[in-house]
Amino acid sequence: MKALIVSSSREELTAFKDGMYIRLSTGVGLSLAAVETARAIIEYSPDIVISVGSAGSMKADLEIGSILSFDSVYNKDQDLTAYHLPPFSTLKKDGSTLSGIRLIGDHHTLLSSSSFATECVDGFDAQDMECYSVALASSLFSIKCASFKLITDMIGQKPFISDYRHILRDGRARLEVEVRSFLKNI
């Protein structure tokens, strides 16, 4: 199975060895993630796309350093509630509503935004800055998508940069182990 592993930075990909995966670093944010993921899908024709990296926890019971997989992702930056649409949804060109995107994963729900999360949102477990766009590009090409995120901070609490870097460094190898195990089982 040809797996495209997508993250915002090269550092997050260091545990994912060349040859086993197609690795893609998009840069930070929803726009870059969408464009770069679509470009890589066209270039490499993967069987599955997997978004990896860090996320902030919105739930007190999710420990820093834990790794989560998600069954859906929503775009926090989409708010057309003034037009009587559900929160975090928008209109597609055919007039249908695009809301959350289904992922292959556990029962956790992820929220994506181009802004650093400062407050929790009810109904969501964590927030990152790229997964929604990675999932959107995958869905538009009818390619399965999964996401594995290392919880690096608690939303609403200011992270200490040295702690963040330490958690991220220690969690990279565990992210790769989780992804490898997932790929063996699908």
Q: What average pLDDT score do residues 56-72 get?
A: 91
Q: What average pLDDT score do residues 52-70 get?
A: 91
pLDDT value at 76 more than 60: yes
Q: How confident is the model at residue 159 (pLDDT cuts 50, 70, 90)?
A: low
Topology of domain 3-184 in CATH is Rossmann fold (3.40.50)
β-bridge mates for residue 67, sequence order: 150
Of 6, 72, 11, nearest in space to 38 by CA: 6
pLDDT score recorded for residue 93: 86
Terminal CA-CA length for the chain = 10
Q: How confident is the model at residue 162 (pLDDT cuts 50, 70, 90)?
A: low
| Ranges of each domain in the chain | 3-184
Of 63, 60, 90, nearest in space to 74 by CA: 90
Helix-helix angle 30-44:131-140, to 10 degrees: 40
Residue 1: both structure tokens together: 């199975």
pLDDT score recorded for residue 158: 66
pLDDT score recorded for residue 80: 85
> For 11-58, what is each residue's pLDDT tens digit?
889 899 868 899 999 989 888 999 999 999 999 999 999 999 999 999
pLDDT score recorded for residue 22: 95
pLDDT value at 161 more than 60: no
The reported pTM is 0.91
> For 117-155, what is each residue's pLDDT tens digit?
778 788 999 999 999 999 999 999 999 999 999 998 887
pLDDT value at 103 more than 80: yes
> Which range has highest mean pLDDT (5-14, 148-157, 165-174)?
5-14
